[in-house]
A and B are shown apart, each in its own frame.
Chain A
Amino acid sequence: DIVLTQSPATLSVTPGESVSLSCRASQGISTSIHWYQQKSNESPRLLIKFASQSISGIPSRFSGSGSGTDFTLSINRVESEDFSVYYCQQSYSLPRTFGAGTKLELK
């Protein structure tokens, strides 16, 4: 199975800061990575597909980059509604796997 390692586990920021969340794959997976946001007591919401492709309806402050084994989700100027947990998921091979998540919290 492909292991996805997300870092940091928790990121404490103040609104207005820009942040980068990391997802590292245990082997090369091209751009087969997708990012989700999950707020407390809600279902996950797709933010970015195939490493950098935007999703309709998602604010433009969310962007993704990377290929191979290293991927980044960037949030430009964090807003209060962004405090939640972020997951990466790979679609390079079966079984699909998720990272353990990065919790973005208010400092």
Chain B
Amino acid sequence: EVQLQESGPGLVKPSQSLSLTCSVTGYSITSNYWGWIRKFPGNKMEWMGYISYSGSTSYNPSLKSRISITRDTSKNQFFLQLNSVTTEDTATYYCARSHGGYPYYFDYWGQGVMVTVSS
């Protein structure tokens, strides 16, 4: 069974970097696409970006140059780094798998990790 689990600090100070890990079991991250999605207080959902089976990435332009998604295939993990965070980055962060050979929809999700940006 495919399982994803996010981990990382629940509290980050403004202007610092947010770093999260998604650990995947039951499926190799060298197949499919793997993404990060966040849900803000008030329920708005935002797709942040993905990393492909080959390691290529695509990001939401709204995040400009603040975001980076990388991976460690030996550990079957992929990572999110978001720089220069503000209180507006407070959200629940999910990692998810896109089904098949193209990132159309997300068929497996992690349980989510709540991150608060506050001094």
Give bound CA distance, A98 to B99, whole Å: 17
Contact A91 B103 (CB under 8 A): yes
Given A43-B94, A43-B111, A95-B62: A101 touches B43 (CB 8 Å cut-off): yes
Is B46 interfacial (CB 8 A cutoff)?
Answer: yes
Contact A98 B46 (CB under 8 A): yes
| A86–chain B nearest beta-carbon distance, Å | 11
Give bound CA distance, A91 to B100, whole Å: 13
Is A89 interfacial (CB 8 A cutoff)?
Answer: yes
Contact with B along A82-95 (1 / 0, CB 8 A): 00010101010011
Contact A34 B105 (CB under 8 A): yes
Give bound CA distance, A57 to B107, whole Å: 12
Is B60 interfacial (CB 8 A cutoff)?
Answer: yes
Is B61 interfacial (CB 8 A cutoff)?
Answer: yes
Contact A85 B43 (CB under 8 A): yes
| B8–chain A nearest beta-carbon distance, Å | 16
Is A39 interfacial (CB 8 A cutoff)?
Answer: no
Residue positions of A touching B, CB distance < 8 A: 32, 34, 36, 42-46, 49-50, 55, 85, 87, 89, 91, 94-98, 100-101
Residue positions of B touching A, CB distance < 8 A: 43-47, 58, 60-62, 94, 99, 103-107, 109-112
Closest 10 pairs (CB-CB, A-B): A43-B109, A98-B45, A96-B47, A34-B105, A91-B104, A95-B60, A101-B43, A49-B105, A46-B107, A43-B111
